[in-house]
Amino acid sequence: MTELKGRLLCNEPLAKYTSWRVGGAADQLYIPFDKQDLCEFIKSLPKDEPVFWMGLGSNLLVRDGGIRGTVINTKGRLKDMRINDDGSVYVEAGVPCAHVARFCAENGLVDAEFLAGIPGTMGGALKMNAGAFGGETWRIVKNVEMLNVTGDVTLRDPKEFSVSYRSVKSANNEWFLSANLVLETGDSAASIQKIKGLLETRAKTQPTNQPSCGSVFKNPEGDFAARLIEATKLKGYSIGGACVSEKHANFIVNTGNATATDIENLIKYVKRKVQYIHGVELQTEVCMIGEAISD
């Protein structure tokens, strides 16, 4: 077997890997050296090992009891990005979305500006079909490179995935290694200016200086989760260290000492209240994983 070059950490607390700054420990966390190394590592795992991938942890609520099995963390790894001969853009799963937006803009490729303010990786954006300001990840995907549990790598067409609003369905136990993106050519300076404008809008409307996971709930058809939560008078409502943001009602912020349990309890409370007052069942956008701590 090829020697592994990544870092394997045992019983690793995940709070420092998530944007909410909460979460228990993973039994083991692997930080791959590169794509090849990651494929070798996956091949080396027992076939029944539970495996969970994370990027920048900006859409994850890891429960306080942590995650049993192996967590793969691509943050700062799998970071190659280049323009292919056919003009498409090759982006590995660990590249931050903000870098993709800037790289495309600087190379006169437009329509990836929406990625600028999304604080996750390309891998996370592919899994979530991340979107903002009218743009959506899978609208610019030409194809993706997948790794499965047996270590096989395949190039796949978007038609092979069921893609919808903040949801992408694929087979279990396969993950995104990279994507090729297709973009229109356009004016580089205008694209950079557009990014600046989008970031300013975010700073004005979102609590970007507090730990959060962005929007907690998906927008229901024809409405906005933030509007419903605000109309339920829940802005500023808190449980423990978790608080519904005063700035954007669909954000729950960690005011300093929140636990994952506080956040999950607040999510459930908001859901119940909105259902009671407005008769709308909100669906969570954030991924909740791991084990709760039993009393």
Q: Which is nearer to ligand FAD, 157 or 187 (CB)?
A: 157
List all residues 6 or more positions away from 176 whose beta carbon is below 8 Å from its beta carbon.
93, 122, 123, 126, 127, 144, 145, 146
Q: Which is nearer to ligand FAD, 108 or 131 (CB)?
A: 131
70 near ligand FAD, judged by CB under 6 A: no
164 flagged as catalytic: no
127 near ligand FAD, judged by CB under 6 A: yes
State the DSSP string of 24-78. Answer: -EEEEEEE-SSHHHHHHHHHHS-TT--EEEESS-TTEEE-TT-EEEEEEE-TTSS
285 flagged as catalytic: yes
Binding mask 161-200 for ligand FAD (x = CB under 6 A): --------------xx------------------------
**CA separation for the pair 18, 93 (Å, rounded):** 17
SS3 132: strand
Closest distance to ligand FAD from the beta carbon of 258 (Å) = 14
State in Å, rounded, how far the first CA of the chain is from the last one: 44
State the DSSP string of 182-220. Answer: --EE--HHHHHHHHHHHHHHHHHHS-TTS---S-SBPPP
Among 39, 54, 100, 274, binds ligand FAD (CB under 6 A): 54
**CA separation for the pair 137, 104 (Å, rounded):** 14
Among the listed residues 166, 170, 191, 245, the single catalytic one is 166
Among 213, 229, 249, 274, binds ligand FAD (CB under 6 A): 213
Pull the structure tokens for residue 260: 């994952």
166 flagged as catalytic: yes
Sign of CA dihedral 9, 15, 16, 17: positive
144 near ligand FAD, judged by CB under 6 A: no
59 near ligand FAD, judged by CB under 6 A: yes
143 near ligand FAD, judged by CB under 6 A: no
Residues 66, 23: contact at Cβ < 8 Å? yes
Among 208, 265, 275, 283, binds ligand FAD (CB under 6 A): 208
Span interacting with ligand FAD, options 29-37, 56-64, 257-265, 266-274, rule CB under 6 A = 56-64
128 near ligand FAD, judged by CB under 6 A: yes
Q: In the window 75-114, what residues touch ligand FAD (CB under 6 A)? A: 93
Closest distance to ligand FAD from the beta carbon of 261 (Å) = 19
List all residues 6 or more positions away from 195 whose beta carbon is below 8 Å from its beta carbon.
101, 102, 105, 113, 116
**CA separation for the pair 119, 116 (Å, rounded):** 8
**CA separation for the pair 289, 11 (Å, rounded):** 16
120 near ligand FAD, judged by CB under 6 A: yes
74 near ligand FAD, judged by CB under 6 A: yes
Among the listed residues 58, 212, 215, 245, the single catalytic one is 215
Task: List active site positions.
Answer: 166, 215, 285
- Provide the binding-site residues for ligand FAD, judged by CB under 6 A: 19, 52-60, 74, 93, 118-121, 123-125, 127-128, 130-132, 175-176, 206, 208, 212-214, 287
